[in-house]
Structure 1
Amino acid sequence: MAYPGYGGMGGGATAGMSEQEQQMVKWMKHGSESCLTKSIMAGAMGGLLGGAFGLFMSSMAYDTPLSAQGQQITSLPVREQLKRGLKDMGSRSWSSAKNFAMIGGIYSGVECTIEGFRAKSDLQNSAMAGCITGAGLAYKAGPQAALFGCGGFAAFSTAIDAYMRMPESD
């Protein structure tokens, strides 16, 4: 089976490559288009974004404990204050990174699976994937929370996808 631009008749991007190299290009193309790969990449990017976001938000937090084991944190040496502050920032950043990675991976996998079943790429995929992801993340809190999670995440993901699909105006 010849893919346009990936060997076969007409050359394209794989012109001059051996059969083994053309096969490797074909496998890489299929691998990069798989739902598993897309989910892993979205999870990794979500984790990076969440870590940066968590680091920023924790550095701006004013809700750190004012006492540590019965003594005011301001009465501790500066080195100990920094140690505790950085440890708190690190744990908050890690928590945010895990949450963003999970949401990105789940959403991306669900959307890719829906797109594969429907065989088209449109806003309805985003809405359905957002609904499933939002409901799935909120189901432990009960059916009402799952319903609100479905609606909220569907609206948000559809709005973002609609914005990303807008033609550029130069």
Structure 2
Amino acid sequence: MDPNEMRYLEDDDTPTMKTIKGATMGLVTGTIWGTIVATWYDVPRVEKHVALPGLIRTLKMMGNHGLTFAAIGGVYIGVEQLVQHYRMKRDFVNGAVGGFVSGATILGYKGRNIKTAISAGAALAVTSALIDSGGQTTRIDTGKEYYPYTTKKRSTVEG
């Protein structure tokens, strides 16, 4: 195995921590999305003296979307990390497998249909593979290694 590739497998974050972060990010994103969807659909106007039913429906929609996104994020990252560990490679295949499994299990379960499960899994797998293979990343590896430094002044040695 290439030593440069090993560096990516030795991240500070453990696979468990990455999975928790993925699920948490999904929860936050889904809750925000549920709030937006609740303002567009399904929630009745809040009347002057009858605010509770609208609030309850909004909270249910926020929670439903939040938990769905959290499950998708957690399963996606967890499977991606598992595949990466067993393959000992970091490429687009890991994300594609994670996308397929998360789409097929979570969205297939919600749709209660095999056709929906396969469609959702394929859609997430293709999206993940396109993003990963296209090099869409927030970090660019320039090959430079950065070391921690101190702000202490060096003592001058006369000699």
Length-normalised TM-score, structure 1: 0.64
The equivalent of 2:82 in structure 1 is 113
Q: Residues 102 and 32 (structure 1 numbering): CA distance in 2 closer, same or farther, change over 3 Å?
A: farther
Matches within 5 A, 1:68-147: 78-80=48-50, 82-137=51-106, 138=108, 141-147=112-118
1:76-131 CA distance string (max 9 Å, x none): x5131x22222211111011111111110000000011111111211111112112
1:21-69 CA distance string (max 9 Å, x none): xxxxxxxxx89522111111110111011101101110122x346xxxx
Task: Confirm or deny: 8 A CA contact 1:31 1:37 kept in the other structure.
Answer: no
| Partner Cα distance (2:91, 2:137) in 1 | 9
- Look up the equivalent residue of 2:48 and give its one-letter code: V
**Which of 41, 44, 50 is the aligned partner of 2:21?**
41
Which runs of 5 or more structure 2 residues have no equivalent in the other structure?
1-9, 141-159
- Look up the equivalent residue of 1:164 and give its one-letter code: Q
| Partner Cα distance (2:118, 2:53) in 1 | 39
| Partner Cα distance (2:32, 2:12) in 1 | 26
- Look up the equivalent residue of 1:136 and give its one-letter code: T
Task: Confirm or deny: 8 A CA contact 1:54 1:94 kept in the other structure.
Answer: yes
Q: Deviation of residue 163 (structure 1)?
A: 5.5
| Partner Cα distance (1:160, 1:141) in 2 | 28
Aligned residues: 128
| Partner Cα distance (1:102, 1:128) in 2 | 16
Which runs of 5 or more structure 1 residues have no equivalent in the other structure?
1-29, 66-72
Task: Confirm or deny: 8 A CA contact 1:114 1:125 kept in the other structure.
Answer: yes
